[in-house]
A and B are shown apart, each in its own frame.
Chain A
């Protein structure tokens, strides 16, 4: 008995829905709801987290992310230009840097700057500076690759037109090529900010005073002090979504805008 293509598609859809329902049901039945209720969804005891997780934690996470992004953007632009340079030494340095910092876990970078540098040079940096540098150096590597792609996506004729108007190379880059490259990479750049927001949580490896706590540190602290199991982490996670979901929507808006203006 042969089915038409439409019938086959419908049967396939029913099968998929069926599998999904069975999987959810199995998960629900297998869960120990009593324990989960006590240790993950125990919202009765989290009162003491407020308002500090909001006033201090959220604020600090935003500040750390912003500082890391500023350093990452400047470093990333410099590395991207170096990588596209006609001078081989610059290309090698940039490639080496990018491969290294994209390859090692960001956690190790935090530890290196938080503990290694003070030990090696006998300097005592404050937490904000360590976060700014660690996060910034990791972000530089990722942003450099994004910006390089953006710079290369600007048609060669743009540089030629600028140069033939008598602009020196640097001026043509600053006034003509880089602004267009930024417009192209706005959506992926927004995604970098989302990643940075989450990576900023790695400062938990540093010794922090209460006023330096970020969202994750508040969550971890709550686990040990509130007796509500993992619930405080769930609350911290929700605050991350408060930051990242609007950024996601922003990225999507940039994407649709650049799709519209493209001819």
Chain B
């Protein structure tokens, strides 16, 4: 696949990046506490990767940021919004937060362009003409300008995920959340999606990324946060956390992820 991005140009303007501040966040499902007091700050324009074993709570944390999950305790600030305030305008806040899902969640009854325009026209009240222009721009930005009339089931997984990114970008978000964006992809299409994300990071977007792609985290992330059992075990500069972790659990996790064929002989 060589229809990949090469655009370094920004969106309709420059990105107006927002920061995130999370304090003592707790989330339980029944008696099962998934997040046990998480605090995390992301500066505007910063790229933070959340890594950790499955069930560690990293996806739940991400979904709390745009309130797809309702936290039980703690505070979240996103840009100018206090997400955890009882009177927060959820819909208004979500317009500033783009979300990319593991399963893409494109709207199958709409073509790529309409996927990118429907929220623009219905939520931002842009004219169809303006929305089309923004959609086309963002589809080109992810290298798919020529496939704007394709329906989701006519696109490969990697292409669908890039349309999903274009759909989120069409709302001019100030923050992008990525929930394991490459985990459902065929290996050969992973690179296209990661390079779109890399460009986005270069353009100065604030990004919070749940991922298992250690190469991407090392290269693109400013910081890496390792979570396990609902707590932040270790965080720091990407290179340091991945290459020289200080905590035993981080070391163990990274050893398994980076060298899955390694067999340990128990004594």
Whether A158 and B107, one on each chain, are in contact in the complex, defined by CB atoms closer than 8 angstroms, is: yes
Task: State the total of A-B contacts with C-beta under 8 angstroms.
Answer: 62
Smallest beta-carbon distance B154→chain A, Å: 10
Whether B122 and A167, one on each chain, are in contact in the complex, defined by CB atoms closer than 8 angstroms, is: yes
From A157, A165, A261, B123 is in contact (CB under 8 Å) with A165
Q: Does A111 contact B (CB under 8 A)?
A: no
Q: Does A263 contact B (CB under 8 A)?
A: yes
Given known pairs A161-B107, A171-B123, A263-B153, the reply for A166 and B101 (CB within 8 Å) is no
Q: Smallest CB-CB separation from B177: which chain A residue?
A: A164
- Which bucket holds chain A's interface residue count? 20 to 34
Q: Does A175 contact B (CB under 8 A)?
A: yes
Given known pairs A160-B68, A161-B101, A175-B118, the reply for A166 and B94 (CB within 8 Å) is yes
Smallest beta-carbon distance B91→chain A, Å: 5
Which of B95, B105, B171 gathers most chain A CB within 10 Å? Answer: B105
Given known pairs A157-B103, A158-B105, A180-B108, the reply for A163 and B122 (CB within 8 Å) is no
Residues of A within 8 A of B164 (CB): 161
Q: Does B232 contact A (CB under 8 A)?
A: no
Residues of A within 8 A of B118 (CB): 165, 175-176
Q: Does B167 contact A (CB under 8 A)?
A: yes
Chain A proximity mask over B115-135: 1 for CB below 8 Å, otherwise 0: 000110011100000000000
Which chain A residues numbered 157 to 202 have a C-beta less than 8 Å away from chain B?
A: 157-158, 160-168, 171, 175-176, 179-180, 183
Chain A proximity mask over B90-112: 1 for CB below 8 Å, otherwise 0: 01101101110101011111000
Which of A157, A160, A165 gathers most chain B CB within 10 Å? Answer: A165
From B68, B107, B119, A166 is in contact (CB under 8 Å) with B119
Chain B proximity mask over A11-39: 1 for CB below 8 Å, otherwise 0: 00000000000000000000000000000
A-B contact pairs, 19 of them (CB 8 A): A157-B103, A160-B68, A160-B105, A161-B164, A163-B68, A163-B94, A164-B66, A164-B98, A164-B99, A165-B95, A165-B118, A165-B119, A166-B91, A166-B92, A166-B95, A166-B124, A167-B91, A168-B91, A171-B122
The 10 closest A-B pairs by CB, nearest first: A166-B95, A161-B105, A165-B119, A157-B105, A164-B99, A166-B94, A166-B123, A166-B91, A168-B91, A179-B109
9 extra interface residue pairs, beta carbon distance < 8 Å, beyond A165-B119, A166-B123: A157-B103, A158-B105, A161-B99, A164-B68, A165-B95, A165-B171, A171-B122, A179-B109, A180-B107
A interface vs B, CB < 8 Å?
155, 157-158, 160-168, 171, 175-176, 179-180, 183, 261, 263
